[in-house]
Structure 1
Amino acid sequence: MTHHSVCDDCIIGGVTEPSTRASRTTGGARADRRKAEMRRDIIDTAFTCFAERGYHATGIADIAGRLGIGHGTFYRYFSNKRDIIDHVIDELAERIITALGTDNAPDAATTLAQYRAQTDRIGAALTSILLDDPRVPQLLLFHATGIDDELTARLYGLLDTADSLTAAYLEHGVELGYLRADLDTRNTARAVTGMLVIGVVHGLRNSETARVEALNEAIRRLLIDGVRAEPDIRDR
């Protein structure tokens, strides 16, 4: 018969417990990945159905049937098809907020040269995000306002947020002197938002990289040359 001490039990417990915890952690991570993959599959399938049948003509049965899952599985991830749209908007907003952090934050640039580089980075990031899946901006720009009043109000709110955020970049430039002192930051911001939206529309019509980049460059030049202070002021 083999004997072991209390100390032995401590050692055994100390060795086996982390292993058990690691196993649970690995299993939990794997389950989270599966959930994320299923959520993404439901979203992708829903947008395919929306594109083919239209939002209002698409039912939960269409999405679940195409994906090969039961209604119960769908409802474990989304409460209804409108919930899918809200999830996509939240995800899109989160990606944009991340892209506008650190060096791309409104108060990051201190010279016109830095502002120019900043607009280059932001333009490239937004193009990548907004045209990554053309079905998303297509639905939001052309169909979402016909879904319901609440979603319409949310989209208008997003435009207002874009205006305010853009105005913050312009106000910072005016304050530091590399943008024109007489700049109407509020309405200029609205004009910039309009250019960005139309830029996305043109990108949906023709996503050829050279054409998209040429339009983005034209917008950036207009944004910089149209609002900059005199060339010899802070342009270094």
Structure 2
Amino acid sequence: MSRADRLEQRRATLVSAAYSLVMTRGFRTIGVDDIARAAGVSHGTFYNYFDNKRDILDAVIDHCFDHIRIVLLGPDADDSPDSLQAFCARYARVIDRCYTLVAEEPGVVNFLLLEASSIDDRVIERCLHNARSYAGEAVKQVDQGMSRGFLDPTIDTDIAGEVLLSVLVSALFSATRAGADGLTQDRVRTQLTGFLASALGAQA
């Protein structure tokens, strides 16, 4: 392994350790010593990569969104639906994975929905930047659906990308409430995929 690879690996280890601590304990309750200890490195080594605890947070947020993308898209990440039914079925699976994420890793969603926005404006902008990246990927899916004839060719693809992002956010919010407001997982899945079909589907 080259020196550059070792440096990158150590940085990744620090980010992973910080991510785990932030998701389980919250950003404000941890310090640089906690991160270094969890990563198995010295206090001084931390400062070879980051200026302070706040400096590593941007990398933690990026890591968090990468993780969410992997969990929510799962094996469907590279799928290319060829019909409106397959398109909606894909998002039905994504919606179900939102519920799994909240059940298995509540700290991830709690951090993004509750804590992150209260830290500073940089955090909000970082989260929005990552969200826009997902919306950009969604636009490509819409373009493919339009080219294959099952999505409405007259829709604004940028707005459609935002709609697909909003579906995920809605599912995550509903999952955190765990059906306490009468919105069960089945109901949320059915209504959101039905909305996608009517809002984006090509007219018969």
TM-score above 0.5, yes or no: yes
> Following the alignment from structure 1 to structure 2, what is the Cα–Cα distance between the partners of residues 100 and 46?
23
- 1:167–1:46 distance in 2 versus 1, CA, 3 Å: closer
On the 8 A contact 1:104/1:118 being kept in 2, the answer is no
Match of 2:168 in 1: 196
- 1:105–1:87 distance in 2 versus 1, CA, 3 Å: same
Match of 1:49 in 2: 25
Task: In structure 2, list runs of 5 or more residues that go unmatched.
Answer: 1-8
Shift of 1:224: 1.7
* Alignment partner of 2:123 out of 151, 154, 176: 151
Q: Does 1:138 align with 2:110?
A: yes
Amino acid at match of 2:160: T
- 1:158–1:70 distance in 2 versus 1, CA, 3 Å: closer
Match of 1:219 in 2: 192
Match of 2:132 in 1: 160
> Following the alignment from structure 1 to structure 2, what is the Cα–Cα distance between the partners of residues 91 and 46?
10
- 1:45–1:188 distance in 2 versus 1, CA, 3 Å: closer
- In the alignment of these two chains, the number of paired residues is 188
On the 8 A contact 2:21/2:30 being kept in 1, the answer is no
- 1:58-82 C-alpha deviation (Å, 9 max, x unpaired): 2428957xx8x99739949x85544
152-161 vs 116-125, which moves further: 116-125
| Superposition TM-score, scaled by structure 2 size | 0.68
Amino acid at match of 1:222: F
Amino acid at match of 2:152: R
> Following the alignment from structure 1 to structure 2, what is the Cα–Cα distance between the partners of residues 194 and 103?
19
Amino acid at match of 1:225: S
Match of 1:14 in 2: none
Amino acid at match of 1:183: I
- The DSSP-based 3-state class of the residue aligned with 1:183 is coil
Please identify the structure whose Cα radius of gyration is greater: 1
Q: Does 1:116 align with 2:88?
A: yes
What percentage of aligned pairs have identical amino acids? 17
Task: In structure 1, list runs of 5 or more residues that go unmatched.
Answer: 1-31, 232-236
Match of 1:28 in 2: none
More contact order relative to length (CA 8 Å, sep ≥ 6): 2
> Following the alignment from structure 2 to structure 1, what is the Cα–Cα distance between the partners of residues 87 and 133?
20
* RMSD (CA atoms): 3.9
On the 8 A contact 1:174/1:180 being kept in 2, the answer is yes
Shift of 1:122: 3.1
Shift of 1:101: 7.3
* Alignment partner of 2:78 out of 105, 118, 121: 105
Match of 1:172 in 2: 144
- 1:157-210 C-alpha deviation (Å, 9 max, x unpaired): 1121122122221121111111112122211221232232132122112278x9
